[in-house]
């Protein structure tokens, strides 16, 4: 956990001053390694990844790009946990910038 903790701090520090797409990508990486021990926070990395994709496109393309990334993530969910993850996305969507509306 100490290594994960240090990696999360490094990723979070790396985001400072970056354009939004790179900043959200760094935050996604930091969130992914920081919360391995806290199941209640697992949606943060996926949400930051969606926000990174949205920030990488023109304003008029943000919603569609976010939906495509969300779908891409969902298509890769193992069947054994798919229903659990989708239920959790619905539950946590309001605190995850509503990015799981796909």
Give me the tens of pLDDT residue by residue for the chain, a chain 102 residues long: 788 778 888 888 888 889 999 999 999 988 888 887 777 788 999 999 999 999 999 999 999 999 999 999 999 999 999 999 999 999 999 999 999 999
Supply the pLDDT for residue 86. Answer: 96
CA dihedral 36, 26, 89, 94 (to 10 degrees): 120
pTM of the model: 0.83
- CA dist., res. 75 & res. 1, Å (int): 29
Predicted local confidence at residue 62, as pLDDT: 97
Q: What is the largest CA-CA distance in the chain?
A: 41
């Amino acid at each position: 956990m100490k290594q994960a903790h240090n990696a999360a701090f490094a990723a979070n520090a790396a985001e400072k001053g970056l354009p939004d797409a790179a900043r959200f990508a760094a935050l996604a990486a930091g969130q992914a390694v920081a919360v391995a021990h806290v199941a209640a926070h697992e949606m943060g990395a996926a949400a930051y990844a969606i926000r990174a994709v949205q920030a990488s496109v023109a304003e008029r393309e943000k919603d569609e790009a976010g939906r495509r990334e969300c779908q891409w993530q969902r298509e890769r969910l193992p069947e054994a946990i798919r229903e659990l993850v989708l239920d959790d996305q619905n539950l946590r969507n309001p605190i995850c910038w509503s990015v799981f509306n796909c």
